[in-house]
Amino acid sequence: MLYRQRTLNTPHGCVKTPVLFPVRNIGKRSSDNTPAYADAIPDLRTAMVNARAIRQRDPQWNRLLNGATLREEMDIPEETVIFADSGGFDFQAGDVDTTPARTLETQRQIGADILGTVDRPISRENRDRENQRRISDSAEYALEASDEHDGEELLFASIHGLDPETVQNNVRYLERNGDFDGYALGSLVPVRTDYKKVTSIILAARRATDKHLHVYGLGGLVYQPLLLYLGVDSFDSSAFIRSAGNRNYMVPGFGGQELKHVTELSYLPCSCPVCRDTPFTELREDRNALTKHNLWALTMELRRFRYMVAANEDVEAYLDLRFQGNEVTKRAYRQVKQQVRRLT
C-alpha cells in the first residue's frame, strides 16, 4: 500500500498526516453550521473554510478587518490549523469573481495556514473544450498565486481532471513552472460513485509528485480507507453535516443509516461522548448532536486505520473485511489493490 505518515509544519502548529479537515460553514448564510468540536475531539485541531464566503459576508469581514480573528469567530483554539480554499466550487456555474492576488489577501487576513489556489471545477456535463479551458485556467491561477506568494503559509495548487493522464500532466506542469508545498485534487465529488475512475485519478496524482496530496470533498466513511491506502495525505468532508441534516447516523464500516427506519432502541451502537449517555429518541431529534456524532465517526475511521498500521497488522486483510458488506466498494478496493501492487 502507499499509506504514509508525515508532518506538516504550519504557522499555527504541526499537523501529523494523514489528517481530516472538517468543513466549517462559517461565512455561509445557512443554519447548517458546524458545532464546536475542537475541545471535544483532541486529534481534530484542523478546519476547512471557504475564503470567498467569509469575505462576502460583510459584517464578519468587517470584524476581521477591524482586529477580530477567524479563530475567535469560530470559537476554536489558537493552534487550530486552518485550510482555506478559494471557494472554487462557487465558480462551477458562474464566472470567477476574484483573482489569485485577492484570494491570497483574503486567506492571509483570516489567518489561514494552508492556502488553496483559485480554481474552476469541471464536470461530465461540460463539453470537453469547456473542461479543458477550466483545467488550464486553474493551472494558470495556481502559477499566478505561486508568483504572488511569499509568506510562511503553505500553498497548495488546486488541480482538476477527469482522467489520469490529464491529472498527471497537470501536476508535472505545475511542478516545473511553480513553487508549491502540495496539491489539492478537485472535481471528484460529482463522479464519486465511479470508484474505478476516481481511484485511478488519485493514483495518477500520487505518482506524479511526492509532495503533500489533498483530496477535496471525499473524506467520508466510504472513501477514507481508500484514500489512506492510496497515500493521500489529507482530505476534507462536509458529509457529517449533510448527513445530520437528513437525520442520517454514520457508523464506521457501514456508512450512513437513516434513523427514521430505526425503532425500538434505547441507545445507539456507539460509545462516543455524544452517544454514550444520550437516549436514542433525543439524539434522533438533535441535529447538532448528530453532527457531532458523525464527526466522531469520521475520526474513528481514521483512528482505526492508523491503529492497524501502528500495530503492524495486515492492512489489506483489514480492508478486505472492511469492504466485504458492499459489493460495489469491495470491487473498487480490489481494483485499487491491483493498481497499487503493480507499483510496489
Contact in structure between 139 and 159 (CB atoms under 8 Å): yes
Beta-sheet strands, E only, within 45-181:
46-50, 81-85, 114-116, 154-159
- For residues 165 and 150, give the distance between their C-alpha atoms in angstroms, rounded to a whole number: 31
3-state secondary structure of 167: helix
- Residue 67 is predicted with a pLDDT of 92
Mean pLDDT across the stretch 167-179? 97
Gap between the terminal Cα atoms of the chain: 7
Per-residue DSSP letter, 157:
E
Percent of the chain past pLDDT 70, that is, above it, reads 94
Give burial (CB, 10 Å; 0-12/13-18/19+) of 101. middle
- Residue 36 is predicted with a pLDDT of 63
* CA-angle at 163, arms to 158 and 168, nearest 5°: 55
Mean pLDDT across the stretch 12-27? 87
- For residues 147 and 72, give the distance between their C-alpha atoms in angstroms, rounded to a whole number: 31
What residue has cell string 457501514?
A: 254
Domains of the chain with CATH codes: 6-237 (3.20.20.105), 246-343 (no CATH)
Other Cβ atoms less than 10 A from the Cβ of 314: the count is 9
Question: Which is it for the CA torsion 312, 313, 319, 325, positive or negative?
Answer: negative
What does the pLDDT look like over 144-161, one tens digit per residue? 999 999 989 999 999 999
* CA-angle at 127, arms to 123 and 132, nearest 5°: 75
What does the pLDDT look like over 258-295, one tens digit per residue? 888 888 889 988 889 999 989 999 998 898 899 999 99
What does the pLDDT look like over 41-60, one tens digit per residue? 888 899 999 999 899 888 88
Q: How many CA atoms lie within 13 A of 221 on its CB side?
A: 22
